[in-house]
Amino acid sequence: MMQSAEVVRILDASLNRASEGLRVVEDYVRFILDDRRLTEQFKQIRHDLAAAGAALPLADRHAARDTLADVGTTVTTAAEGQRTDAWAVCVASLQRLKQSLRSLEEYCKVDLPAVAVQFESLRYRLYTLEAALGRTVDALDRLAEVRLYVLIDGRRSDEEFQSLVRQLVSAGVDAIQLRDKSLSDRPLLDRARLLTALVKDAAASPDPDLARSGLAVQVAQPPIPLVIINDRPDVAAAADADGVDLGQGDMTVNDARRIVGPRKPGPCGRSRRRQLPRRRPDVSFADETVRCAGRPRLHSPGRPRDPPSGICHRRHHACERLGSGIGRPTADCRQFSGRGSGQSRVRRSRPAPVVFTVRRAAA
């Protein structure tokens, strides 16, 4: 039994704000991200909020509500009317939602302490979902520009490896993945460190031909590629790579994230060759995208050849809709700058990354 009309009024306003904020966030993950799992989680928490709020008699809430006399309805700030994009709308709603849940929890302690515990539990669940959503958006933002993704091995020598990497960087590739099952730990780490060093040097130094011509300031430099290490988060962390591509038999994404770091995009990549198990609610769904950005499965060094096949990956796994795939292009360095050679591509509403595998020539 609620004894204070003022407290009921606070609870009514806070419950309304929380419900509205959840709906805004749910609309974002549903219609902007097309993320089925996150949509399910936010929908569930919205229904659980309604169930907890049912302990507040609706008749008491309506009796205490006085919107016309609410002094707060006319108190606004300039920031309230400005949102830069849909994500900013979602973030603002998340903040409002957390604050409302805290208010519900604290004021329910006056007359409904058991309900206060329910609101506390919802608040902690929201923190977990907020982190999952943030990681998803962050990964998608940093991987959105990846259009040409190249898998390389360690080559026969440092010199050959350096030459290949420099050609790739000069050609403007967006991501380079080091994948070499034949290398032991120390040579693999040496190659990974060399790869990251070469990429960082390219970022710090303009193209020498442009510098000599005086056009370095006027001409856009090639993009600096992401550096991804296959299967080995420990090597990726030691080499300061951008991330790691995990296979189905490797450690979990969350374990890899603890090794590599929370803001590395690579742990957001998992090669998918079978249906993934149902995810925990604290795992964002960019966490298990296909090879970081929705790439089709291709032959790569160390992997047995599979029949050419196209796998349709759904957009709620944070990738584009792929039709019959890109096929299995065989390319050498001369083809990289073309970005269109030897590919059997399917018409898409938005471009998906093109993947090349560079293999050592037979001895």
Report whether pLDDT(257) > 70. Answer: yes
Cα–Cα distances in angstroms (integers) from residue 149 to residues 53, 225, 234, 264, 316, in the given order: 49, 9, 22, 17, 21
The reply to whether 122 and 205 lie within a common domain is no
Answer yes or no: do 218 and 265 share one domain. Answer: yes
The one-letter amino acid code at 209 reads D
Statement to judge: residues 223 and 91 lie in one domain: no
| pLDDT single digits (tens) 284-340 | 433 333 333 333 334 444 554 443 332 222 222 222 222 222 223 333 333 333 333
Nearest-10 crossing angle of helices 113-143, 86-111: 170
| 103 & 160 share domain | no
**Quick one: 91 and 184 in the same domain?**
no
Q: What is the CATH number of the domain that holds 86?
A: 1.20.1260
Q: Return the closest-CA partner of residue 81 out of 73, 89, 71.
A: 89
Cα–Cα distance, 289 to 12 (Å, whole number): 40
- Does residue 19 belong to any structural domain of this protein? yes
* Sign of the dihedral through C-alpha 234, 251, 285, 178: positive
- Among 141, 165, 185, residue at a domain's last position: 141
Based on the domain organization, do 239 and 294 belong to the same domain? yes
Q: Where are the alpha helices (DSSP H) in the chain?
A: 5-27, 36-53, 58-64, 86-111, 113-143, 158-171, 185-204, 208-213, 233-238, 253-260
The confidence band for 232, taking pLDDT boundaries of 50, 70 and 90, is very high
20 within a domain of the structure (yes/no): yes
CA 294 → CA 86, 166, 191, 254, 316, distances in Å? 23, 26, 26, 19, 11
Q: Could you list the residue range(s) of the whole structural domain that residue 35 is in?
A: 5-141
Q: What is the pLDDT of residue 80?
A: 84
- pLDDT tens-digit map of 158-198: 999 999 999 999 888 999 999 999 999 999 999 999 999 99
For residues 115 and 162, state if they share a domain. no
Query: For 107-159, what is each residue's pLDDT tens digit?
Result: 999 999 999 999 999 999 999 999 989 988 987 887 888 889 999 999 999 99
Q: Are residues 314 and 248 in the same domain?
A: yes
Same domain, 220 and 350: yes
Indicate the number of domains in the chain.
Answer: 2
User: Which of 141, 165, 195 delimits the end of a domain?
Assistant: 141
Q: Does the residue 363 lie in any domain?
A: no
Indicate which CATH number applies to the domain containing 211. 3.20.20
The CA angle 311-314-318, to the nearest 5 degrees, is: 115
Instruction: Work out the pLDDT band at 3, boundaries 50, 70, 90.
Output: low
Is the whole model's pTM more than 0.75, yes or no? no
Do 114 and 176 belong together in one domain? no
Of 78, 111, 141, which residue sits at a domain end? 141
* Same domain? 73 vs 160: no
Per-residue pLDDT, 328: 32
Q: Shortest CA distance to 176 belongs to which of 247, 229, 221, 231?
A: 229
